[in-house]
Amino acid sequence: MARLTYILKRILQMIPVLFVVIVLIFVMIRLIPGDPARLMLGETAVEADVEALREAMGLNEPYTTQFAIFFKNLLHFDFGNSLLYKTSCIDLVKERLPLTVSLTVVATLFSLLISIPLGFVAGLHKDKASDQAIRISALAAISMPTFWVGLLLMIAFSVKIRIFPAGGWGTTPLEHLQGLILPGIAQALMTAALLMRNLRNSVVDISRMDYVDFAVSKGVSTRRVRSAYIMKNSLISTITLLSTRITYMLGGSVVIETVFSLPGCGKLLVDAIFARDYAMVQCMVFIFALIVLLVSLITDIIYSFIDPRITL
């Protein structure tokens, strides 16, 4: 019950945050030099046509009027039409959001699959050969740029050994999954390395705690010490790190999406910014902000399950 109230309270708190985000992005995107009408018609278009288009797009109105119109439509979840694509922004985003979110989910899963076992092994066998090997590979993974890893994976597994498709997403859910594996791994590498280091340090710290010593001397089996005492406690800081990394992966998806030709949101946002597509940028930033807030809410809820000391 308390949890439910907490969730509701947090959702209500999101509203003022989102409002501030909206105002900020509205102002910032218009402050950047560059006129959407001119960019749409191209460098080689005549001044008269550019002016006519500005008028038609409603860009000559005062900012307050533009914001009033925008806010009124926002309440109906209507972000207006994209200046570039001429269709409803929210529809365009709805088409592409599933891919970006799936990619982030797949990447998160891969990073957990890689980092949790390896982090534990490294932490429990501190300073032994396995620990050194794992830490060195973590360093290597952090040093490699994502797009380069992506290209290497594509060359190895799509061209030389033809297991995965060379980019693209396919049509059926199975093809979707296949298309997301290589990008997911490329995207996950850095996060996996960071999580692994964090988890390893956590495990090392917790292993030295008094209560672990006490449990061992009490005669608790090694297996139970590891799962109940060490594992649960070390995960907390790792989960915090994971939540910030998810935000980063969501925003940084454009690089992987470009390399693997995935029709996701990242590229949509970057193109919109370059074209000064005000409506689209506002829509996407709002949605990303919403997702980030939701992710942080979910993280807080997970804390409450893992750590009984935390009451919501």
Q: What angle do CA 69, 73, 75 make, to 5 degrees?
A: 125
| Contact string (CB under 8 A) for other proteins, positions 261-300, x = contact | xxxx--xx-----xxx------------------------
Of 20, 222, 298, 310, the one binding other proteins (CB under 8 A) is 222
Q: Which of 80, 93, 115, 164: binder of other proteins (CB under 8 A)?
A: 164
CA distance 42 to 25: 25
Question: Which residue's CB is nearer to other proteins, number 90 or number 292?
Answer: 90
98 binds other proteins (CB under 8 A): no
95 binds other proteins (CB under 8 A): yes
Should residue 129 be labelled a site residue for other proteins when binding is judged by CB under 8 A? no
Q: Which amino acid is at 267?
A: K
175 binds other proteins (CB under 8 A): yes
Residue 167 C-beta: closest distance to other proteins, Å: 5
Contacts of other proteins in 182-221 (CB under 8 A) = none
Minimum distance from residue 295 beta carbon to other proteins (Å): 23
Which one among 13, 170, 213, 294 touches other proteins, defined by CB under 8 A?
A: 170
Position 155 contacts other proteins (CB under 8 A)? yes
Among 174, 218, 308, 311, binds other proteins (CB under 8 A): 174
166 touches other proteins (CB under 8 A) = yes
88, β-bridge pairs: 81
Q: Is position 34 an interface residue for other proteins (rule: CB under 8 A)? A: yes
CA distances from 266 to 62, 153, 247 (A): 30, 21, 13
Distance of CA 15 to the CA centre of its chain: 21
Closest CB to other proteins among 162 and 218? 162
Where helices occur in the chain by DSSP H, the ranges are 2-31, 36-41, 47-56, 63-75, 89-124, 129-143, 146-154, 173-207, 210-218, 222-224, 232-251, 253-259, 265-274, 278-306
CA–CA distance from 229 to each of 3, 124, 129, 212, 242 (Å)?
Answer: 25, 13, 25, 7, 21
Min dist. Cβ of residue 185 to other proteins (A): 9
Q: Given candidates 12, 62, 76, 171, which one binds other proteins under the rule CB under 8 A?
A: 171
| Window of 1-9, 110-118, 208-216, 240-248 that interacts with other proteins by CB under 8 A | 110-118
Coil vs helix vs strand at 200:
helix
Tokens representing residue 130 in the block: 């396995």
Helical axes 265-274 vs 278-306, angle rounded to 10°: 140
